[in-house]
Chain A
Amino acid sequence: MGVFRQIGWLIHKDLALQFRTKEMLALIIVFSVVVVLIFCFAFGPIFPEKLEERGKLAASVLWGTFLFAGIITLNRSFDIERANGALHGLRLTGVDASYFYLSKVVSIFVFLILLEVIVTPIALQFLDVLTILPVALQKELPWLLLKLIGVLAIGTLGFCAVGVIVSGISTNTDGTESLLSVILLPLTFPVIMAGAKCTVSLLTTGGLEGNFWISILIVYGLIFLASSSLLFEFVVEG
């Protein structure tokens, strides 16, 4: 019980910090929209006619955008912890490193999900995906969007699981931002592959029937959540 309360307070603190400065959310949303626009300008204005091609395009745009937005968020979050020795203050309370890890994963996850909920419809609209969906799917569009967000959520959780521990490491160096990308991106290739495939499947058939990709996303998240919450103690305590 005490565990969950402690984690809850840590998450509360993180979210308070993230939303304290409203510019951060605004900045990251604008960044994501701009990235989406870059893809649109590169591919547009006439997008592939076939639904599957369009779906692939949308999947790559969404996942690419959220990956970069995720890296920025991670960096920012750990900058706050490092600055002014806040992390040392946290350590002095005797809180377990794995609680800290889990709270960080959850708070960044929440932030990114919020971003995804806002940016996904915009991106789908810009790429004009919604109009060429089969009629059956168009009828239950909210349901489809919900499923899409669900897939994004599972992928984002995996991304956060790895991202938090890697940025916990890379924040100790000087060239933080570029270093984080170089180390983190190769580790997240499976998320991109699996996430994009799931997205394409959702946009073309409206479901994930006979699809192993979603289980890869889940397994990836579980493996890294488990291993990183054990390893995070070494990152924090040294």
Chain B
Amino acid sequence: MMLLQASQITKRFGNRIVLNGLDLNLRSGEVVTIFGPNGAGKTTLIQILSTLIKPTSGTLQIGGIDALAEALRARPSLGLVGHEPLAYLDLSPYENLKFFGRLYGLDGLEQRIADLLDEVQLIPYAHEPVKLFSRGMIQRFMIAKALIHDPMLLLFDEPFSGLDLAAKQFVLKRIDRERARGKGIVLTTHDTELGYHIGSRFHFLLDGQIERGAEKEDIGLEALAREYEDRLNRCQQR
């Protein structure tokens, strides 16, 4: 089944066209990596896919639900790890997870929170306010927050930026595990190496349009990096 179906997504801010007639599909068990330079509209795309902002035109289906008309119904089936924590930093991880878990209407919440905090290695800090955490800890907390309701679709916006090596590896492992459990994952990055490593299908987001999709079997890391470089240069010349 198609987990995510976006077609002809266009977003304008005033006269500026950020996304221009963009198509994207995702099945479960797939990790789609979207490469793009800063300002290419990656964040806007993720925000549209997560229904936080509405596209100017186009259609979006998440898990078979029309996510533009019934955003509230579609939202519980997606999890987002964005630039911002999307949580209350004055509260502790435990309080945050409990609050959001309750709003999602989860059963067996205490156990779920304990498991998640254990997985992201935040048990010792479970009752400290999040604002005291380091960047890596906040990233782990954000992953836990995005996974609390076990969504089918996961969206990662630049999950590796500002992290040290260990933290990057943690995120990679985590994404891989969710994929193995049959989740669909969309990930944006400008890091070709990490993006190649984790992805099963690759796209380039340039000039507000998705260019070309390559499966992992059809392309090697070097070829991918070269192609990205080429496309970037061509885009800059235009």
Q: Are A91 and B100 in contact (CB under 8 A)?
A: no
* Complex partner residue of A91 from B75, B83, B90, CB under 8 angstroms: B75
Q: A20-B90, A96-B72 are in contact. Are A90 and B103 (CB under 8 A)?
A: yes
Q: Point out the residues of chain B lying under 8 angstroms from A94, CB to CB.
A: 71-76, 103-104
Q: Point out the residues of chain B lying under 8 angstroms from A16, CB to CB.
A: 91, 95
Q: Point out the residues of chain B lying under 8 angstroms from A9, CB to CB.
A: 99, 102-103
Closest chain-B Cβ to A22's Cβ sits at a distance in Å of 12
Q: A13-B99, A94-B76, A237-B71 are in contact. Are A84 and B104 (CB under 8 A)?
A: no
Q: Point out the residues of chain A lying under 8 angstroms from B100, CB to CB.
A: 89, 93
Q: A46 contacts the other chain (Cβ, under 8 Å)?
A: no
Q: Are A92 and B72 in contact (CB under 8 A)?
A: no
Q: A93-B103, A95-B103 are in contact. Are A17 and B88 (CB under 8 A)?
A: yes
* Complex partner residue of A93 from B53, B75, B82, CB under 8 angstroms: B75
Q: Are B52 and A88 in contact (CB under 8 A)?
A: yes
Closest chain-B Cβ to A144's Cβ sits at a distance in Å of 39
**Which residues of A from 12 to 60 have beta carbons under 8 Å from B?**
12-13, 16-17, 20-21
Residue of B with least CB distance to A10? B103
Q: Point out the residues of chain B lying under 8 angstroms from A238, CB to CB.
A: 53-54
Q: Point out the residues of chain A lying under 8 angstroms from B82, CB to CB.
A: 85, 88
Q: Point out the residues of chain A lying under 8 angstroms from B91, CB to CB.
A: 13, 16-17, 20
**What 1/0 mask marks residues of chain A from 51 to 81 whose CB sits below 8 Å from any chain B CB?**
0000000000000000000000000000010
Q: A135 contacts the other chain (Cβ, under 8 Å)?
A: no
Q: A83 contacts the other chain (Cβ, under 8 Å)?
A: yes
Q: Are A92 and B90 in contact (CB under 8 A)?
A: no
Q: A13-B99, A93-B100, A94-B75 are in contact. Are A83 and B89 (CB under 8 A)?
A: yes
Q: Are B103 and A21 in contact (CB under 8 A)?
A: no
Q: Are B75 and A88 in contact (CB under 8 A)?
A: no
Q: A6-B103, A84-B87, A95-B103 are in contact. Are A89 and B145 (CB under 8 A)?
A: yes
Residue of B with least CB distance to A83? B89
A contact residues, total (Cβ < 8 Å): 27
Q: Point out the residues of chain B lying under 8 angstroms from A237, CB to CB.
A: 54, 71
B contact residues, total (Cβ < 8 Å): 33
Residue of A with least CB distance to B73? A94
Q: A6-B103, A16-B95 are in contact. Are A92 and B80 (CB under 8 A)?
A: yes
Q: Point out the residues of chain B lying under 8 angstroms from A13, CB to CB.
A: 88, 91, 99
Q: B105 contacts the other chain (Cβ, under 8 Å)?
A: yes
Q: Point out the residues of chain A lying under 8 angstroms from B99, CB to CB.
A: 9, 12-13
Closest chain-B Cβ to A94's Cβ sits at a distance in Å of 4
Q: Are B53 and A92 in contact (CB under 8 A)?
A: no
Q: A86 contacts the other chain (Cβ, under 8 Å)?
A: yes
Q: Point out the residues of chain B lying under 8 angstroms from A2, CB to CB.
A: 105
Q: B84 contacts the other chain (Cβ, under 8 Å)?
A: yes
Closest chain-B Cβ to A102's Cβ sits at a distance in Å of 14
Closest chain-A Cβ to B55's Cβ sits at a distance in Å of 12
Q: Point out the residues of chain A lying under 8 angstroms from B102, CB to CB.
A: 5-6, 9
Q: Are A85 and B86 in contact (CB under 8 A)?
A: yes
Closest chain-A Cβ to B80's Cβ sits at a distance in Å of 6
Q: Point out the residues of chain A lying under 8 angstroms from B44, CB to CB.
A: none
Closest chain-B Cβ to A77's Cβ sits at a distance in Å of 12
* Complex partner residue of B86 from A92, A95, A96, CB under 8 angstroms: A92
Q: Point out the residues of chain A lying under 8 angstroms from B78, CB to CB.
A: 92
Return 23 A-B CB contacts under 8 Å, by A number.
A13-B91, A13-B99, A17-B88, A17-B90, A17-B91, A20-B90, A20-B91, A21-B90, A80-B88, A83-B89, A84-B86, A84-B89, A85-B83, A85-B85, A86-B85, A89-B86, A91-B75, A94-B72, A94-B73, A94-B75, A94-B76, A237-B71, A238-B53
Q: Pick the 7 closest A-B CB pairs, nearest first.
A: A89-B86, A85-B84, A94-B75, A93-B103, A85-B86, A94-B72, A84-B85
